[in-house]
């Protein structure tokens, strides 16, 4: 379905008159001032159209819009619009593709087939027409917010406003200040260009980088703006980086390029404190609760000068920070335009990155561009954030509201609220994972995994008689890479899953199985003896290197395919005598070039 129809040569004329012209034509005919034929010639309206409109006018029936009827009724489209708006309010707006899939699911659910929809799925042109019919909808670029920002709720905002009411009571707007730091980057961003149709990667030659410069801005509820405070990322500060900048602007530097506590203190005592000392009565400074913005010196200075330092709720600056809400966006738009013009100049084409010596000049131009709308934007920001005048409604209106249950089904509401709750809650604590060794073709149940967890927790809860360090697992053991492996047998051998004793009785360890099938020599408690021991229900060969009261130290071998080798560095830790199954012969070296050994006593156990 084409978006814009092209008129074919020789086709009949379509509507080429306005609604006002048609109204005047019908009124003149009704007043018997002119005949239908002469009205058709005078107003350029077909006589058949005049006859049809007169019939509708006299019968007082609503006129039908021209063109084919819509695929869905007005009630159905109203439901679609309502669902889209509710999803957007809850922080999950639909894309064009999402809307098409939702419509197709709706058609399949009601058992309806629309022949003009391919695979019963509306196309992008239908979505375009749908958006034109409903002006309350539009395509916008969505801003991603983190889960903790999405978790800001009505209770948090209401409590914040109630406290703020007492803090800013009877304080004039010129004494209400908001500060925030931002950055101006060296990348002007993407822009649309004219290129050959079908070109996959149109490129614009322009030197850009990922560097940015931090700036502290501070404005009042009356619309006043303090000179900016600039922080460069460097170890030294040069005089050329401070020339031709905004009036009374201050410059500093830090290794990270961001504000630390010392720089914030310097900004506070040199920029805003002299201004606040000149103002009468109590003053309020509002800012985020970054640790680098709060120091003992700043708080002491606030107490001495009748200044109230107010911190915004955590993760709420996108709603409660006036500079973020109303000032920084137009500033960033103007900055991208200035940066694009500079990069197109002779100097900008010559420089690979925006030089710090050129930054003050561009910043001065930016401040001049923002000056005409500075006061309006700052006043609007304080009002929209509910600070002046103090009002929670502007903030609550931008939070997800309670959905009207008469408009949507309860099942849709529950799934929608659950989806947002899933994203905004912290969720369960991520635990350690354990690898379950399952026979191919067998399955494991969730109850079994839970019982194994309980068993492991009980073992961990039992007191230990000696402090035995964990043995390092060899990286070459790809099949046993997890340090907390557990062998799981067929669930049919476990009997009742609710009986933990049956689980322990039927889950044989590798040591018990080996004791039944393997014939090891009796244990000899002597240094230099080669032994077989268990570690996490698996069997390894090793050599006793030292004996203490707590137990022997064993240098363990690691598996290498179907043989054994001594790891580097040496894998030597302390074990209990109960971990040793028996003694074995000296491992046999089976390679003349490599240190590879064979342990015949373990061939059957490991399946060699």
Of the listed ranges 156-160, 536-540, 576-580, the least confidently predicted one is 536-540
Task: Calculate the CA 83 to chain-centre distance.
Answer: 23
Whether residue 209 has pLDDT greater than 70? yes
Whether residue 132 has pLDDT greater than 80? yes
Whether residue 269 has pLDDT greater than 60? yes
Whether residue 29 has pLDDT greater than 90? yes
Q: How many residues does the chain have?
A: 608
Q: What is the mean pLDDT of residues 266-295?
A: 88
Identify the pLDDT of residue 316: 85
CA proximity to 472, closest of 556, 579, 553: 556
Whether residue 154 has pLDDT greater than 90? no
Which residues are CB-neighbours of 556 under 8 A, at least 6 positions away?
471, 533, 535, 540, 541, 542, 567, 571, 572, 573
Task: Calculate the CA 519 to chain-centre distance.
Answer: 59
Of the listed ranges 3-7, 160-164, 571-575, 583-587, the least confidently predicted one is 3-7
Where in the chain are the domains? 19-59, 74-150+401-427, 153-190+207-396, 429-460+469-507, 509-608
In the block, which residue shows the tokens 């001594």? Answer: 566
Question: What class does CATH assign to 19-59?
Answer: mainly alpha
Task: Calculate the CA 120 to chain-centre distance.
Answer: 33
By 3-state DSSP, what share of the chain in percent is helix, strand and coil, each rounded to 5? 40, 15, 45
Identify the pLDDT of residue 375: 96
Partner residues linked to 454 by β-bridges? none
pLDDT digit string, tens, across residues 484-532: 444 344 433 333 333 433 434 343 444 555 555 567 888 888 999 999 9
The three-state secondary structure class of 17 is coil
Task: Name the strand (E) or helix (H) holding 559.
Answer: strand 558-560
For residue 600, what pLDDT band results from cuts at 50, 70 and 90?
A: confident
Identify the pLDDT of residue 466: 44
Partner residues linked to 180 by β-bridges? 217
**Residue 16, token pair as written in the block:** 């080429």
| Structural contact between residues 137 and 14, judged by C-beta atoms closer than 8 angstroms | no
Angle at alpha carbon of residue 206, lines to 204 and 209, rounded to 5°: 125
**Residue 391, token pair as written in the block:** 């009002």
Identify the pLDDT of residue 498: 39
| Structural contact between residues 424 and 150, judged by C-beta atoms closer than 8 angstroms | yes
Which pairing describes strands 436-437 and 212-220: parallel, antiparallel, or unpaired? Answer: unpaired
pLDDT digit string, tens, across residues 468-495: 444 544 443 433 333 344 434 443 333 3
Identify the pLDDT of residue 62: 65
Identify which has the larger pLDDT, 467 or 253: 253
Can you say whether residue 60 is alpha, beta or left, with left for phi > 0 and alpha for psi between -120 and 50 degrees?
left
Helix axis angle for 19-30 and 36-43, nearest 10°, is: 150
Which residues are CB-neighbours of 420 under 8 A, at least 6 positions away?
90, 91, 92, 150, 400
pLDDT digit string, tens, across residues 350-367: 887 899 999 999 999 999
Q: How far apart are CA 139 and CA 84, in angstroms?
A: 12
Whether residue 47 has pLDDT greater than 70? yes
Task: Calculate the CA 5 to chain-centre distance.
Answer: 41
User: What number of helices (H) and strands (E) belong to the chain?
Assistant: 22, 17
Phi, psi angle pair for 124, to nearest 5°: -65, -30
pLDDT digit string, tens, across residues 192-203: 656 667 766 666
Phi, psi angle pair for 237, to nearest 5°: -120, 125
Q: How far apart are CA 488 and CA 495, in angstroms?
A: 14
Of all residues in the chain, the percent with pLDDT exceeding 90 is 34
Identify the pLDDT of residue 506: 40
Burial class (CB in 10 A: 0-12, 13-18, 19+), 514: buried
Q: What is the mean pLDDT of residues 316-333?
A: 93
| DSSP character string of 261-288 | HHHHHHHIIIIIHHHHHHS-S-EEEEE-
Which residues are CB-neighbours of 265 under 8 A, at least 6 positions away?
295, 297, 298
The three-state secondary structure class of 315 is coil
Identify the pLDDT of residue 476: 39
Whether residue 211 has pLDDT greater than 80? yes
Q: How far apart are CA 148 and CA 592, in angstroms?
A: 62
CA proximity to 147, closest of 427, 431, 429, 428: 427
The three-state secondary structure class of 463 is coil
**Residue 120, token pair as written in the block:** 């019963």
Identify which has the larger pLDDT, 247 or 69: 247
Which residues are CB-neighbours of 549 under 8 A, at least 6 positions away?
none
Torsion of CA 16, 18, 19, 20, to 10 degrees: -140
Alpha carbon of 532 to those of 280, 284, 467, 522: distances in Å?
85, 74, 21, 11
Whether residue 349 has pLDDT greater than 70? yes
Question: What class does CATH assign to 509-608?
Answer: mainly beta
Identify which has the larger pLDDT, 60 or 563: 563
- Cβ atoms within 10 A of the Cβ of 502, count? 15
The three-state secondary structure class of 86 is helix
Identify the pLDDT of residue 417: 60
For residue 376, what pLDDT band results from cuts at 50, 70 and 90?
A: very high
Partner residues linked to 541 by β-bridges? 532
Identify the pLDDT of residue 416: 56
Whether residue 385 has pLDDT greater than 80? yes
- Start-to-end Cα distance in the chain: 68
Whether residue 440 has pLDDT greater than 70? no
Q: Which fold has domain 153-190+207-396?
A: Nucleotidyltransferase; domain 5 (3.30.420)
Identify the pLDDT of residue 520: 82
CA proximity to 355, closest of 500, 211, 563, 221: 211
In the block, which residue shows the tokens 């009261």? Answer: 549
């Amino acid at each position: 379905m084409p978006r814009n129809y092209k008129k074919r040569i020789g086709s009949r004329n379509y509507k080429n008159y306005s609604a006002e012209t048609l109204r005047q034509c019908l009124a003149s005919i009704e007043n018997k001032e002119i005949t239908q034929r002469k009205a058709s010639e005078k107003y350029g309206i077909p006589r058949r159209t005049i006859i049809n409109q007169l019939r509708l006018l006299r019968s007082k029936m609503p006129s039908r819009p021209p063109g084919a009827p819509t695929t869905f009724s007005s009630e159905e489209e109203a439901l679609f619009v309502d669902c889209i708006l509710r999803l957007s309010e809850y922080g999950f707006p639909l894309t064009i593709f999402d809307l098409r899939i939702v419509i197709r699911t709706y058609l399949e659910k009601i058992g309806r087939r629309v022949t003009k929809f391919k695979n019963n799925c509306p196309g992008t042109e239908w979505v375009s027409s749908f958006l034109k019919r409903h002006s309350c909808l539009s395509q916008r670029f969505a801003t991603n917010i983190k889960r903790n920002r999405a978790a800001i709720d009505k209770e948090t905002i209401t409590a914040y406003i109630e406290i703020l009411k007492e803090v800013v009571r009877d304080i004039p707007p010129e004494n209400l200040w908001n500060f925030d730091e931002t950055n101006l980057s060296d990348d002007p961003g993407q822009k649309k260009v004219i290129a050959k149709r079908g070109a996959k990667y149109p490129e614009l030659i322009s030197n850009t980088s990922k560097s940015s410069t931090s700036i502290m801005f501070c404005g009042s509820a009356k619309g006043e703006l303090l000179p900016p405070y600039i922080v460069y990322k460097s170890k030294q500060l040069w005089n050329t980086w401070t020339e031709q900048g905004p009036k009374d602007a201050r410059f500093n530097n830090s290794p990270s390029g961001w504000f630390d506590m010392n720089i914030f203190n310097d900004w506070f005592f040199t920029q805003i404190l002299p201004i606040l000392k000149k103002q009468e009565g109590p003053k309020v400074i509002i800012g985020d609760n970054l640790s680098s913005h709060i120091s003992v010196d700043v708080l002491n200075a606030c107490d001495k000068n009748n200044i109230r330092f107010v911190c915004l709720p955590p993760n709420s600056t996108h709603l409660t920070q006036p500079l973020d809400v109303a000032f920084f966006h137009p500033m960033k738009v103007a900055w991208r335009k200035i940066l694009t013009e500079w990069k197109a100049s002779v100097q900008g084409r010559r420089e690979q990155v925006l030089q710090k010596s050129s930054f003050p000049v561009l910043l001065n131009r930016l401040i001049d561009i923002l000056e005409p709308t500075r006061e309006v934007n700052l006043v609007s920001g304080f009002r929209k954030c509910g600070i002046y005048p103090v009002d929670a409604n502007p903030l609550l209106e931008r939070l997800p509201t309670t959905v009207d249950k008469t408009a949507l089904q309860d099942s849709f509401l529950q799934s929608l609220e659950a989806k947002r709750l899933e994203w905004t809650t912290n969720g369960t604590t991520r635990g350690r994972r354990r690898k379950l060794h399952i026979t191919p073709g067998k399955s494991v149940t969730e109850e079994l995994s839970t019982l194994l967890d309980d068993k492991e927790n009980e073992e961990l809860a039992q007191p230990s008689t000696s402090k035995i360090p964990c043995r390092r697992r060899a990286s070459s053991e790809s099949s046993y890479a997890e340090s907390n492996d557990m062998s799981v047998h067929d669930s049919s051998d476990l009997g009742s899953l609710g009986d933990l004793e049956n689980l322990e009785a039927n889950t044989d360890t590798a040591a018990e199985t080996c004791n039944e099938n393997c014939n090891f020599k009796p244990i000899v408690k002597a240094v230099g003896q080669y032994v077989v021991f268990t570690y996490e229900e698996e069997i390894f060969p090793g050599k006793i290197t030292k004996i203490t009261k707590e137990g022997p130290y064993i240098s363990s071998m690691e598996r290498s395919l179907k043989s054994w080798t001594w790891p580097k560095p040496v894998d030597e830790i302390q074990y209990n005598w109960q971990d040793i199954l028996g003694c074995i012969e000296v491992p046999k070296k089976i390679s003349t070039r490599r240190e590879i050994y064979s342990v015949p006593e373990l061939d059957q156990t490991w399946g060699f």
